[in-house]
Amino acid sequence: MGEIIQEEKQKGGKKRPKHHSTHIDMTPMVDLMCLLITFFMLTTAFSKSKVMEIALPERDPKVKPPPVSKARTVNIILGPENKVFWYPGMVENPKSPPPLQETNFSDQGIRKMLLERNKFLFKKVAAFREKTIKENPTMSRDSLLANIKRFNKLDDSGPIVLIKAYKDSRYANVVDIIDEMAICNIIRYAIVDINYVEEDMVKTAMAASTKSTKPQ
């Protein structure tokens, strides 16, 4: 925006040509800059990246891992192409490993399996909750949930889930399986390294899956 100032003088009865000088008013630009700064500040605050923090202990070869019950152990392996495999127990004989069960992240997939294996804990929690409410009907909801949480920590019947990621698995699948742990109320689970036997098991399962999907 400019303001044109026109000056006209006469000398000796002759008219001099008009001189035009421009002066730019920067006041509106200041308002525009303030609006832009405010806009970028707000959009930056709204677009903060969401990060899931996973607390993992530091690896110490001197520390032996705690013993894990074979009957309660469930191994979940995140494979390539968004595939999910699982098998119960431990690999006792590397030359004859157990077959992998293929599933997915649907309600009828890995979630159904986890809920089925965790049903005994659900029954115990329901009985504990009913008993607590009966003995102390005035207990607040927060106190009840705190008691249930302490009860869960003492559980000795729920599954122990070992989550393992294949080399070609996706990070999004790791986030999904951790969400499933919370949905299914899995108290004990850990993210551990996959071993060479399980890698071969995944390769065998993937080859069988590819062969079964080929048109005859």
Burial class (CB in 10 A: 0-12, 13-18, 19+), 74: buried
81 falls within a domain: yes
- Note the pLDDT tens digit of each residue in 115-139: 998 888 778 778 877 888 788 888 7
2 DSSP 8-state letter: B
Residue 205's pLDDT band, with cuts at 50, 70 and 90, is confident
26 falls within a domain: no
DSSP three-state, residue 114: helix
**Both tokens assigned to 198:** 């399980």
Residue range(s) defining the domain that contains residue 172: 70-116+159-207
**What average pLDDT is seen over the chain?**
78
DSSP three-state, residue 185: coil
103 falls within a domain: yes
Residue 206's pLDDT band, with cuts at 50, 70 and 90, is confident
163 falls within a domain: yes
Distance, CA of 61 to CA of 142 (rounded, Å) = 40
H-state helical runs in the chain: 27-46, 110-117, 119-135, 141-153, 171-183, 196-213
18 falls within a domain: no
The count of structural domains within the chain is: 1
Do 149 and 111 meet the contact criterion of CB atoms below 8 Å apart? no
180 falls within a domain: yes
139 falls within a domain: no
- Claim: this prediction has a pTM higher than 0.75: no
- Note the pLDDT tens digit of each residue in 1-52: 444 444 444 445 555 666 555 666 667 777 778 888 888 777 765 655 555 5
- Note the pLDDT tens digit of each residue in 165-196: 998 889 899 999 999 998 888 888 989 899 99
173 DSSP 8-state letter: H
153 falls within a domain: no
For the chain, the farthest-separated pair of C-alpha atoms sits apart, in whole angstroms, at 117
